[in-house]
């Protein structure tokens, strides 16, 4: 055999690693379908980043947290001013709250969980039709958090759907299950409306949007931005994990955008960073978990907090969640509101836009609040 034809041990190792990498990029659902009893090394976090630790130290207890509850029906009634005060406290102190009596029929939310579950139960060949590295694609199936730069993968597959304008993108969405497009479009429209009502309330709680009786043209201009704004829906699948103590469903991160509405099934998994420990959010039946995004923290000039959160996995139960991320249009720039900047509270953030966010996450491994930290002036 000529020297040029010689195959070394290193060559074989490189080829095996390439094969493994392709398998990992096919997602954890595909791994589970092929049967595994231990998670591959690619998914094993450094000890300091594992679920049982907080900033490299053992986490203090396994604490559950009841988030502030906002009754949407009360928000629309005579007690609006009191509910707005509760909303402001929730955004300042927790960065998260739960919304009940939101008006979206339980059939709409349960159908969304059901059709999403059935999508991830499709054969891999069907799911893989939607794999794409284009972050602007109207539909994208993938795994981990950002598989192009993640050194360690997380135990999660996802389906991302751009939802606005829905009439222009829905025909790109999965055609299987047969009812997926219809049910997901109904769900997207309902959550869009709910997000607009919550956004208006949040702006009012900041003193930036008058009450229905005291509206000014500027208020309508602000709301028009959100009506025409970006809407990204992310369906998350967390299969049972044989070694849940070694990995995470999603790493610590904050959400890019203004508001995120999260629909969960009954399986716990969401944790937020609160008072120097990780705490598990207790699900409330027929509610949405809502959290402040990076855009809202910037827009409020730091008054409302975009809080770091992560997702645990378990060895017994499959978990599905649907996150709806809402903000202003992709082409627009987010800045601190001039009304919230003065001598006592100077401007704390640089401008941010979607292009700068894409550039940031494409060039580095996403951890905690790195993008938001990169926008801070002090």
Confidence tier at 165 by pLDDT (50, 70, 90): very high
User: What is the pLDDT of the chain when averaged over all its residues?
Assistant: 87
CA 165/CA 180 separation, integer angstroms:
18
Task: Look at residue 50 and tell me if it is in a domain.
Answer: no
Which residue did the predictor score with more confidence, 326 or 132?
Answer: 326
How far is it, in rounded angstroms, from Cα 254 to Cα 307? 6
Residue 217 predicted with pLDDT over 60: no
Question: Can you read off the two tokens belonging to residue 188?
Answer: 């997207």
Per-residue confidence band for 21, with pLDDT thresholds at 50, 70 and 90: low
d(CA 104, CA 337) in angstroms, rounded, equals: 31
Cα 52 to Cα 55: distance, rounded to the nearest angstrom:
10
* pLDDT of res. 3: 54
pLDDT given at position 4: 56
Task: Supply the pLDDT for residue 16.
Answer: 47
Arithmetic mean of pLDDT, 165-193: 97
More confident residue, 146 or 47: 47
Which residues does 225 contact at the CB level (< 8 Å), separation at least 6? Answer: 328, 329, 332
- Which residue in this structure is represented by tokens 């947290």? 65
From residue 253, give the alpha-carbon distance in Å to each of 47, 74, 361.
Answer: 18, 31, 12
20 pLDDT tier (thresholds 50, 70, 90)? low
Taking phi over 0 as left and psi of -120 to 50 as alpha, with beta for the rest, 3 belongs to alpha
> Which of these ranges, 3-12, 31-40, 101-110, has the smallest mean pLDDT?
3-12
Instruction: Say how many domains are in the chain.
Output: 1
Flag whether 18 is in a domain.
no
pTM of the predicted model as reported, rounded to 2 decimal places: 0.89
How do residues 55-94 score in pLDDT, each as one tens digit?
Answer: 666 665 557 888 999 999 999 999 999 999 999 999 999 9
DSSP assignment string, 151-195: SS--S-EEEEEE-SSHHHHGGGS---STTHHHHHHHHHHHHHHHH
Per-residue DSSP letter, 44: P
More confident residue, 360 or 129: 129
Residue 42 lies in a domain: no
User: How many CB atoms within 10 Å of residue 191?
Assistant: 25
- In 3D, which of 192, 190, 201 has the Cα closest to residue 70? 201
3-class state of residue 291 by DSSP: strand
pLDDT at 368 over 70: no
pLDDT at 24: 76
Q: According to the model, what pLDDT value does residue 216 have?
A: 47
Lowest mean pLDDT, pick from 105-114, 126-135, 157-166, 183-192? 126-135
Question: Does a cis peptide bond (omega within 30 degrees of 0) precede residue 177?
Answer: yes
Query: Residue 98 falls within a domain, yes or no?
Result: yes
68 φ, ψ (degrees, to nearest 5): -55, 140
C-alpha distances (whole Å) from 190 to each of 93, 231, 302, 323 are 28, 12, 29, 13
Q: Residue 142 is part of which domain span?
A: 60-375
Question: Which pLDDT score is estimated for 105?
Answer: 97
* pLDDT, position 13: 46
Structure tokens at 302: 């730091």
Question: pLDDT higher for 25 or 154?
Answer: 154
Q: Is residue 290 part of a domain?
A: yes
CATH number at residue 136: 2.60.120.330
130 has pLDDT over 60? yes
> Among residues of the chain, what percentage have pLDDT more than 70?
85
What phi and psi values does residue 186 have, to the nearest 5 degrees? Answer: -60, -45
More confident residue, 9 or 290: 290
The Cα–Cα gap between 56 and 61 comes to 15
41 domain-assigned: no
Taking only the tens place, the pLDDT of each residue in 222-279 is: 888 899 999 999 999 999 999 999 999 999 999 989 999 999 988 889 999 998 889 9
Of residues 205 and 12, which shows the higher confidence score?
205
Q: How many residues does the chain have?
A: 378
Neighbours of 100 (CB within 10 A): 15
Is 57 exposed, middle or buried (CB count within 10 Å of its CB: 0-12, 13-18, 19+)?
exposed
* Half-sphere exposure for 121 (CA within 13 Å, toward CB): 11
Task: Give the per-residue pLDDT at 9.
Answer: 63
Q: Is residue 22 part of a domain?
A: no
Position 306 in a domain = yes
């Amino acid at each position: 055999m000529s020297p040029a034809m010689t195959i070394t041990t290193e060559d074989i190792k490189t080829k095996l690693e390439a094969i493994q990498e392709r398998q990992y990029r096919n997602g954890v659902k595909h791994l589970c379908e092929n049967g595994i009893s231990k998670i591959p090394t690619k998914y094993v976090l450094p000890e300091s980043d594992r679920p049982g630790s907080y900033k490299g130290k053992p986490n203090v207890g396994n604490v559950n947290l009841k988030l502030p509850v906002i009754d949407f029906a009360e928000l629309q009634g005579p007690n609006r001013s009191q509910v707005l005060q509760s909303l402001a406290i929730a955004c300042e102190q927790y960065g998260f709250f739960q919304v009940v009596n939101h008006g979206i029929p339980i059939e709409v939310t349960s159908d969304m969980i059901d059709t999403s579950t059935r999508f991830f139960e499709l054969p891999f060949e069907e799911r893989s039709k939607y794999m794409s590295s284009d972050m602007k694609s109207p539909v994208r199936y993938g795994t981990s958090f950002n598989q192009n730069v993640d050194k360690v993968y997380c135990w999660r597959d996802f389906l991302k759907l751009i939802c606005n304008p829905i009439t222009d993108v829905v025909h790109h969405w999965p055609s299987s299950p047969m009812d997926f497009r219809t049910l997901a479009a109904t769900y997207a429209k309902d959550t869009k409306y709910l997000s607009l009502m919550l956004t208006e309330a949040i702006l009012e709680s900041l003193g930036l949007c008058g009450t229905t009786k005291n509206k000014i043209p500027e208020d309508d201009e602000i709301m028009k931005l959100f009506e025409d704004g970006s809407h990204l829906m992310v369906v998350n699948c967390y299969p049972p994990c044989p070694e849940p103590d070694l990995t995470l469903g999603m790493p610590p991160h904050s959400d890019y955008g203004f508001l995120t509405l999260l629909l969960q099934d009954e399986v716990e998994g969401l944790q937020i960073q609160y008072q120097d420990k990780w705490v598990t959010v207790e699900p409330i039946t027929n509610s949405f978990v809502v959290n402040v995004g990076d855009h809202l923290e910037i827009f409020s000039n730091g008054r409302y907090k975009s809080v770091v959160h992560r997702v645990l996995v378990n060895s017994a139960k499959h978990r599905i969640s649907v996150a709806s991320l809402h903000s202003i249009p992709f082409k627009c720039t987010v800045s601190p509101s001039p009304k919230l900047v003065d001598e006592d509270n100077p401007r704390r953030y640089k401008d941010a836009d979607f292009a700068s966010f894409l550039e940031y996450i494409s060039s580095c491994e996403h951890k905690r609040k790195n993008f938001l930290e990169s926008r801070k002036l002090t």
